[in-house]
Amino acid sequence: MGTPSQALDYDTDMQTIRDYVQSVVETQAKLATSYTSALDNFQTTVLTASPADAKPDVLGAILKSSSQSRNLRYRPSRTRPGPILGR
C-alpha cells in the first residue's frame, strides 16, 4: 500500500484534473453561447434588412464588373525584368 504522502499527492493530482476539466467545460459553454449569439445576431440582421438593402443594384454590378475586367487584361511589361536570384 502507499504512504500517506502518496495519498495526498494522488488527491492533489485528482483535484488538479477536476479543476482542469471544469475549466474546459466552462470555456466550451462560453464558446457555444457566443457562437449561438452570433448566429442570432446574423439572423436578425438578415430578417430585418430594408427593401432598399434587398434590392439588387444590377447596373452598378455590371459597371463594376466591366471596369474590373478591363484592369485584368494582359499588359506586357515595358521594363526589363530584375535579376534572377541564385545566379
Query: Can you tell me the mean pLDDT for 49-73?
Result: 71
Q: What is the pLDDT of residue 18?
A: 96
pLDDT for residue 44: 86
- CA separation for the pair 50, 48 (Å, rounded): 6
Query: Cα(76)–Cα(83) distance, rounded to whole angstroms?
Result: 18
Q: What is the pLDDT of residues 4-42, one digit of tens each?
A: 667 678 989 999 999 999 999 999 999 999 999 999 988
Residue 82: DSSP 8-state: -
pLDDT at 87: 47
Mean pLDDT of all residues in the chain? Answer: 77
Give the length of the chain: 87
The predicted pLDDT at position 80 comes to 56
